[in-house]
A and B are shown apart, each in its own frame.
Chain A
Amino acid sequence: MSAPANTKTYFPRRAWVGIDTTQTPPRVVAAWRVPGGLRRVEVAPAVLRERRPDGTRCVAGLPMSRVFCEYVAPPARACRQARRLAPGMLDLRLPLPVERCAIAWIPSPSPDAPAALLAFAVPHEALGQALQPGPARTVDTERIVPVAHALWRRWARLEPPDGAALRLLLHAGSDAWTLLIGRGAVLQSSLTLPGGDLAALARNLEVFRQRWSDRGGHLLLCGPGADESLLRQARNTPLLTGATIELAPEPAAYLATALAETAADGGATGDLREGFRDHPAWLRRQRRAALVQTAILLSASVLLVAAHLALLHRASRGVAAADAALTRQAVRLAGRTLPARGAAAVELARNELDTRLNPVVEAFADDPLVGKVDALLRVAALRTIRIASLAVDDRRIELAGSAASEADIAVLREAGRREHLAAALESESTTDGRVHFEGTFMHEGVRP
């Protein structure tokens, strides 16, 4: 079988490349995400060797003849718990210990069994043989995926199943046929049949029809051997009567496309090589990630120290500025340079200030009480308070007189408070019906 003519030479770096090595020459399809879906192009193997010589972002399919496919439903509620229990259950079903197998666990898409897993297990020896360089291997692919996983996922994505109907996918390879059997979106079993054995296909369909009591079935044909002739033969096979049989679009490129799209779509990879961690691309990616982490750690260290040093520097500058201001103010108060610093300098400066200020002059600087007399006399005039005597000096205002009532005296007291004067007025009623008062006003906070 020859390679397709309409191959492309361009595909972006982010594209995943699926390689169907069951054909000679292999079919190669590149797929990548674009807004609104996936885009794919078919690529010539020579172009692939040129563009991706080390197999970076390349996926190869592992034929199911070498792979054990088991549907495991552990008694677990969560997928994480199921992953812990599943290896033990799988070990009982496999003909060899699970430790000697590379296993890809695929979570069940069925909402009825969220903890169920599909296990693809391949013996290490078989996987090693598949990874050996040979004429069939175009490049050393980064991933190797069971073909059943890729084929089933693509079919489920293109034609989402309706309910739990019986679905079969036949990949008609050059040497052997692979039959996938499932219910709805859940792949349950995988069988390898001799190439061209439609009778075996029909027998297996009948077995699963009886097991699941489903007389219908939907069969999709793909692979290099799937063509109109095979479709006609299948439709004419008596035991396949009742089943809907279809030919996949571009059947020969179906597997390569499935491999590329499954990888490009993300999610469950089904990669059997994942546990080996030996591919150069994987190592390169790990190295890059480690270098990025190193750079982040170093940057964080530098930033952390720089930020804290800046904080300390700012605080130190603030302290130095405050010290300078304190010294300046202390010198201003003292009128000379002081032999002390900080709080001691402040105390010394205050003492110096008391010494150097001349009391004769400072008396003029005090807030004079005589200036407040005017406000008191104005209130007294308004309330018809008679002032008998008024004496004002630097410390107090002494007032004596009479008022019409205690309320007038309270108003006088309030007027003093507005002028920040503390009033100490005593009053007593007199025989003429007026209230005699006598007392002092002083600056608030000054002791009498």
Chain B
Amino acid sequence: MSPRRVHLLRFAALLLFLVTLVVSLGLRRMAADRMQDLERRQRTLQALAPDLERLARYEAVEAALAADPTAGRLPAPPDGSPAPDVEERKVMPAVGAWRGVQVELGWRRLETGTALRLASHYMAHQPPWRVARLYMQALETAGTCRLELRLESAQPAEEP
């Protein structure tokens, strides 16, 4: 190869390198834009995490409710506990595929220890039951209290 050709080849390689450099800068900028897009999407994905957790919790509860054959029936009270002075059951209007069931339980005078045991017992049954409201009021007589519990459950709407 003649020296002139070699020099021309080197010059061409240099030109190609310069062009490559410019192209590379463009590619780099494009890659940086893509990386920013990626970061934005990852942030959005992270922002979805609470919604996904909410959905997962919902699905777990729904599955538990659907799977429980005793849904709608109040859990049995603890052994030796007094019967409530008030027991009122309400079936709520259907919301979608589910309807709520509320049971109000009330004891006018109860030993505080027994009241706490009762509250603890019903709080442990969820789902299908949950304590939607608890009210305890200490009475003037020491060691006794008034207890009101509102228990809620849900059952498929087609079942009354």
A residues neighboring B (CB under 8 Å): 283, 286-287, 290-291, 293-294, 297-298, 300-301, 304-305, 307-309, 311-312, 314-316, 318-319, 322-323, 325-326, 329-330, 332-333, 342-343, 346, 349-350, 353, 357-365, 368, 370-371, 373-374, 377, 386-394, 401
Flag whether B52 is at the interface (Cβ < 8 A).
Answer: yes
Interface of B is mostly: helix
B120 contacts which chain A residues (CB < 8 A)?
374
A305 contacts which chain B residues (CB < 8 A)?
20, 23-24, 27
- The minimal Cβ–Cβ distance linking A349 to chain B, given in whole angstroms, is 8
CA distance A291 to B119 in the complex (A): 90
Q: Which residue of A lies closest to B35 (CB)?
A: A315
Taking CB atoms and an 8 Å cut-off, the chain B residues in 1-49 that contact chain A are: 1, 3, 6-7, 9-10, 13-14, 16-17, 20-21, 23-24, 27-28, 30-31, 34-35, 37-38, 41-42, 44-45, 47-48
A377 contacts which chain B residues (CB < 8 A)?
116
CA distance A362 to B152 in the complex (A): 12
CA distance A309 to B23 in the complex (A): 10
**Known contacts being A305-B23, A315-B35, A315-B38, is A297 close to B14, with CB within 8 Å?**
yes
B51 contacts which chain A residues (CB < 8 A)?
333, 349-350, 353
B residues neighboring A (CB under 8 Å): 1, 3, 6-7, 9-10, 13-14, 16-17, 20-21, 23-24, 27-28, 30-31, 34-35, 37-38, 41-42, 44-45, 47-48, 51-52, 54-55, 57-58, 60-62, 65, 92, 95-100, 116, 119-120, 123, 126-127, 130-138, 152, 154
A326 contacts which chain B residues (CB < 8 A)?
41, 44-45, 48
**Known contacts being A294-B10, A360-B95, A389-B135, is A283 close to B65, with CB within 8 Å?**
no
- The minimal Cβ–Cβ distance linking B4 to chain A, given in whole angstroms, is 10
Give me 7 A-to-B residue pairs in the complex whose CB atoms sit less than 8 angstroms apart, sorted by A's number. A290-B9, A293-B13, A298-B16, A304-B17, A304-B20, A349-B51, A388-B137
Interface of A is mostly: helix
Pick the 5 closest A-B CB pairs, nearest first: A315-B34, A322-B41, A308-B27, A301-B20, A297-B13
- Tell me if A297 and B34 are in contact (CB < 8 A): no
- Tell me if B3 and A283 are in contact (CB < 8 A): yes
